[in-house]
Amino acid sequence: MSIDGRDLVFFDGSCGLCHHAVIYCVKRDMDGSRFLYAPLYGETFQAQVDESARARLPDSVVVLTASGELLVESDATAHLLARLGGRDRILGGLLRAIPRFIRDLGYRFVARVRRSIFKKPEEICPLLPPELRTRFLP
């Protein structure tokens, strides 16, 4: 489940959009109290998400909440925004106000074209300042 009450955010490190989403969250979760990050299909993902659930997941951002709920697609995005607070919380609430099937259609469209719009990060595991390294798991 979670570690220290923080949600686990699993992301595709070779996707530019996912990379930017993680940077966005890290910058807004200044004290690191809300999220920990790990690569999708990495060691932490394998240990925290059971095999049957892993087989059904898309290759995009996946959130394992502190309460054990596994969120994908627009639910994961709305959850991340809501947990960040401030104006992001409002955006998350607005996103949740849209029926899920419509939000997920939009999410899937962006997921389909993301690699052509957002270039692959030059470094999948960029060098992190020491104070941020503890937020990233294998």
Whether residue 110 is contained in a domain is answered as yes
Whether residue 133 is contained in a domain is answered as no
Count of structural domains, the chain = 1
Instruction: Identify the pLDDT of residue 22.
Output: 83
Instruction: Identify the pLDDT of residue 14.
Output: 64
- Other Cβ atoms closer than 10 A to 39: 19
- Taking the chain, what is the end-to-end CA distance rounded to the nearest angstrom? 15
Render 83-109 in DSSP notation, one character per residue.
HH-HHHHHHHHHHHHS-HHHHHHHHHH
10, 113, 4, 111: which is closest to 53 by C-alpha?
Answer: 10
Whether residue 43 is contained in a domain is answered as yes
Instruction: Identify the pLDDT of residue 11.
Output: 85
pTM beyond cutoff 0.85: no
Block means of pLDDT (10 residues each) for the chain, 138 residues, are: 81 70 86 90 89 82 92 93 94 94 88 66 57 78
Whether residue 129 is contained in a domain is answered as no
Whether residue 89 is contained in a domain is answered as yes
Instruction: Identify the pLDDT of residue 63.
Output: 94
Instruction: Identify the pLDDT of residue 119.
Output: 58
Whether residue 123 is contained in a domain is answered as no
Instruction: Identify the pLDDT of residue 107.
Output: 80
Instruction: Identify the pLDDT of residue 81.
Output: 95
Task: Residue 112: give the domain boundaries.
Answer: 7-68+79-118
Whether residue 135 is contained in a domain is answered as no
